[in-house]
Chains A and B, each alone.
Chain A
Amino acid sequence: MGSTKVGIKGSKFYINGKLTYSDIEGSNPGAHGLLMNARFIQGVFDDKGNRGRYARFGYEVFDPDANTDRLIEALPEWYRYGLRAFTVGFQGGGPCFTINNHTINNNPYSEDGTSLDGEYVRRMEKLIIAADNIGMVVIVSFFYGAQTRWLKDDNSVRNAVKTASNFLRDRGFTNVIIEIANEHNINEFKIHPILYNPEGIVSLIDVARRESGGMPVGCSGGGGYSNRDISMASDVVLIHGNGCSRQHYYNLIMRVREWEPDKPIVCNEDSQAVGQLEVAFRTKTSWGYYNNITKQEPPANWGISAGEDTYFAYRMAEGIGIKMTNIHEGDRYCLQGFESNFTFEGKRWIRLASLYPEEINFVDFFRNGDLIYTAYDEPYTVNYISNWLQGPCLIKEEDREWKALIHLRNGRIIEKTFRK
């Protein structure tokens, strides 16, 4: 039996019978019952077709086991900041900045869905046990869009739900929440109507609940999406905030809450925009940090890395009421994207991270003295596409200096510079 038992009463989460965070002295009662989480979707990642291409970011080889082990090592630090759950995908997620998911073979299911790859099972098992040992919950996501092409038909999908759910049940896990599919309504799921249509998802939620022996189940859609039938069939209403402004995200929560006032609402994928986290705390809903660069490009750096990861962790702790050492004023802004190993094909992803992005009006980015971009929306990225996606900068030999001028709402201007 597990040592971490997740329970749900009304809209609140309990761990081992106690409201989450209520065990922390001085914690904010408004945060009790929430399940702050992060998207660590590549926790059991592999690419059976072309593993060699992940020997990058300072690693000489990509070792799927070492990838999982490093995540396990990082969990206690995240826990200390208040993280109580993370989402890991049996079929991973897209390394959206560097590799087309349609070229990846990251799938544990046989094509008829009746069996699971033993290596994936081993990695998933050790990850869930490690989380269990320290009081953390794992949201296990069964399907990822582009990887469902390895399943031959809808019947195989149903089988795969049974197989994965039976695995979770047979191991006796008590710290698991099941997400049927990661954003079931996106185009890549169209090849499987049972995953793409809400009616199909509703049936799979029932299958997963039954075959897992009663684990909590839900299913997310794309950013801003909600579906009443799926919400009603779910134990946990899973939402995604990708591409939402704070207002859109708030409106999404209000809409879902009107349908299901007495169920937990858990965002398990948003972005690195911690302004959204504030909306979550204020509406007493759980939020999921998603950083595609630091956490979805294998091999991920699973720790709380400098910049966005740190600021999220700190804001999460602050919202929960966990006392942390103050971040020095000079360290509250970070011109990010110049980490020595974090480059791919000469590309870098440059952005200005901040502990309090609400204070920023806009950020001007200069390359060798030339203004090349202004960022107006959080997260303040060069070549902004969405709150979780940006275009790269191709770094050239001539690049000597990058500078960010941070125009604060109070009129002050802060300068952050990176010099070669």
Chain B
Amino acid sequence: MSKTHINVKGEKFEINGELTYSEIEGSLPSAQGLLMNARFIQGIFDDKDMRERFARFGRSVYDPEKNTDDLAAALPEWYAHGLRSFTVGLQGGGPVFTIDDWSTINNTPFSDDGKSFDSAYEGRLERLIKAADEIGMTVIVSLLYQAQAHRLKDGEAVRNAVKTACAVLKNLDCSNIIIEVANEHHVGNFKIHPIIHSAEGMSYLIELAREQSGGMLVGCSGGGGYSNREIAKVSDIILIHGNNCTRQEYYNLIKKVRSFGMNKPIVCNEDSPCIGQLEVSLRNGASWGYYNNLTKQEPPADWGITTGEDTYFARRMAERIGIRTPSLRFEDQYYFQGFERDITIDNKRWIRLASLYPETINYVEFYRNGELIDIAYDEPFMVNNVTTWIQQPCIISEQDKEWKALVYLRNGQVVEKKVELR
């Protein structure tokens, strides 16, 4: 028997019949009914062709079972900070920073006709969903990922895969599951399958998933800033992504979706490390999804609440729900991130300035051996910014002795953060 039962009333979520967070003493009424979440898309990740390339970041082998177990072990800590859901992909997500061609990764539980499901994936998925269920968390299971689309041979195989996956989920007899049919249905290689790529096809797949899962809650996301009325109409939960949106664009997206007048929960289940967006979401009654490609989408992920961005997100989430956490000293509210010992590959590092209160930052200057090399103006404050969730690496060489970030705050104060390299 499932311990965690999710259901929806109007725009709000209930867990076991109570508005989410309402059981927490002192929780803010504005947060009650939301489903704060994170993208843990690689929770059951494997690469059946080249597993060894994920023996990195301090690990001598990549073990998919351990990867899942590590995530399961990290869940209680996230729960304590208010996380009530996470998205895991049956076909994972792209290790955007380190692998150029994600289609080379063989990460799918489906046979090419979509009729069968890999039992190892099923085992990992079951452990994860049950671990979440045990502690009161829900899981958004994302069925399809664009970089794996070529592994399903045609539209019929896609329909079969949806049916097969839903049968696996139904068989778990868990009531803490939400289904995302595809992760951003209209992007990348989904174009080879019109049934996924088109809103008409996706609307059908959403209905199919609901029916085949025995009535689980279903939705489907599009790329950052995307919304589609037809898909929203057929969804139980309106899933949106905030990638690369400014706060204004994200606000306008929520407003637009709400103007559809459908009285359904609006859940962002992928944004970026920008916790400024979290504020917009909470203020406007939409659930928000933290997405950190670097800490959580490059297998093997460190699933815990790591120092820097993860910690700041967790604390801000807790703060805005009304969960008390010990306060952080001012100097610890800014963290010069990207120099963690093991998080490097081919001498590349991804350097950024994380903050508990990024709203206080005007801009950040980055110095390499005393020389100004970049200025970051937008959150997240990254060297070589590309979008809110992507940055280019810095190649670290023998000559690198010192990196420094000068953080210019909006109140005129300047905070210095320095890292000495040996």
Contacts of A251 in B (CB 8 A): 385
Contacts of B377 in A (CB 8 A): 245-247, 249-250, 279
Closest B-chain residue to A378, C-beta based? Answer: B248
**Chain B CB within 8 A of A281 CB:** no
Instruction: Tell me the residues in window 232-263 of chain B with beta carbons closer than 8 Å to chain A beta carbons.
Output: 246-252
Q: A245-B378, A246-B363, A247-B378 are in contact. Are A377 and B385 (CB under 8 A)?
A: no
Closest B-chain residue to A375, C-beta based? Answer: B248
Closest B-chain residue to A275, C-beta based? Answer: B377
Contact yes or no, B385 A376, CB < 8 A: no
Instruction: Tell me the residues in window 337-384 of chain B with beta carbons closer than 8 Å to chain A beta carbons.
Output: 359-360, 362-363, 374-378
Q: How far is the CA of A254 from the CA of B280 in the complex (A)?
A: 30
Q: A358-B362, A376-B246, A376-B247 are in contact. Are A282 and B375 (CB under 8 A)?
A: yes
Q: How far is the CA of A344 from the CA of B279 in the complex (A)?
A: 36
Contact yes or no, B248 A384, CB < 8 A: yes
**Chain A CB within 8 A of B418 CB:** no
For chain B, the bracket of interface size reads 20 to 34
Q: Contacting B410 at CB < 8 Å: which of A250, A254, A359, A384?
A: A359
**Chain A CB within 8 A of B283 CB:** yes
Closest A-chain residue to B374, C-beta based? Answer: A254
Closest B-chain residue to A245, C-beta based? Answer: B378
Contact yes or no, B252 A358, CB < 8 A: no
Contacts of A359 in B (CB 8 A): 410
With most chain B CB atoms within 10 A of its CB, the pick from A282, A359, A362, A376 is A376
With most chain B CB atoms within 10 A of its CB, the pick from A247, A282, A375 is A247
Contacts of B60 in A (CB 8 A): none
Instruction: Tell me the residues in window 33-59 of chain A with beta carbons closer than 8 Å to chain B beta carbons.
Output: none
Q: Contacting A376 at CB < 8 Å: which of B280, B375, B378?
A: B280
User: Closest CB-CB distance, A284 to chain B, in whole Å?
Assistant: 13
Closest A-chain residue to B248, C-beta based? Answer: A377
**Chain A CB within 8 A of B411 CB:** yes
Contacts of B252 in A (CB 8 A): 384
Q: Contacting A377 at CB < 8 Å: which of B246, B283, B360, B374?
A: B246
User: Closest CB-CB distance, B341 to chain A, in whole Å?
Assistant: 29
Contact yes or no, A247 B411, CB < 8 A: no
**Chain B CB within 8 A of A115 CB:** no
Contacts of B410 in A (CB 8 A): 358-359, 409-410
Contacts of B280 in A (CB 8 A): 376
**Chain B CB within 8 A of A374 CB:** yes
Contact yes or no, A245 B375, CB < 8 A: no
**Chain B CB within 8 A of A22 CB:** no
Closest B-chain residue to A377, C-beta based? Answer: B248
Contacts of B376 in A (CB 8 A): 247
Instruction: Tell me the residues in window 398-417 of chain B with beta carbons closer than 8 Å to chain A beta carbons.
Output: 410-411
Contact yes or no, A245 B246, CB < 8 A: yes
Contact yes or no, B251 A409, CB < 8 A: no
User: Closest CB-CB distance, A55 to chain B, in whole Å?
Assistant: 35
User: Closest CB-CB distance, A287 to chain B, in whole Å?
Assistant: 14
Contact yes or no, A376 B251, CB < 8 A: yes
Instruction: Tell me the residues in window 247-261 of chain A with beta carbons closer than 8 Å to chain B beta carbons.
Output: 247-251, 254
Per-position binary interface string of chain A over residues 78-105, scored 1 when its CB falls under 8 Å from any chain B CB and 0 otherwise: 0000000000000000000000000000
User: Closest CB-CB distance, A363 to chain B, in whole Å?
Assistant: 11
Q: How far is the CA of A408 from the CA of B378 in the complex (A)?
A: 17
Closest B-chain residue to A246, C-beta based? Answer: B377
**Chain B CB within 8 A of A361 CB:** yes
User: Closest CB-CB distance, B247 to chain A, in whole Å?
Assistant: 4
Q: How far is the CA of A377 from the CA of B246 in the complex (A)?
A: 7
Q: How far is the CA of A279 from the CA of B377 in the complex (A)?
A: 9
Per-position binary interface string of chain A over residues 364-407, scored 1 when its CB falls under 8 Å from any chain B CB and 0 otherwise: 00000000001111000000100000000000000000000000
Q: A246-B363, A282-B375 are in contact. Are A374 and B283 (CB under 8 A)?
A: yes
Given A246-B363, A377-B247, A409-B411, 18 more A-B residue pairs with CB atoms under 8 Å apart are: A245-B246, A247-B376, A248-B378, A249-B377, A250-B375, A251-B385, A254-B374, A361-B359, A362-B247, A374-B251, A374-B283, A374-B284, A375-B248, A376-B246, A376-B248, A384-B252, A409-B410, A410-B411
Jot down 27 A-B pairs with beta carbons below 8 A, ordered by A.
A245-B377, A245-B378, A246-B363, A247-B376, A247-B378, A247-B385, A248-B378, A249-B377, A254-B374, A359-B410, A361-B359, A362-B247, A374-B251, A374-B284, A375-B248, A376-B246, A376-B248, A376-B250, A376-B251, A376-B280, A377-B247, A377-B248, A377-B249, A384-B248, A409-B360, A410-B410, A410-B411
- Listed from nearest, the 5 A-B pairs whose CB atoms lie closest are A376-B247, A246-B377, A247-B378, A377-B248, A409-B410
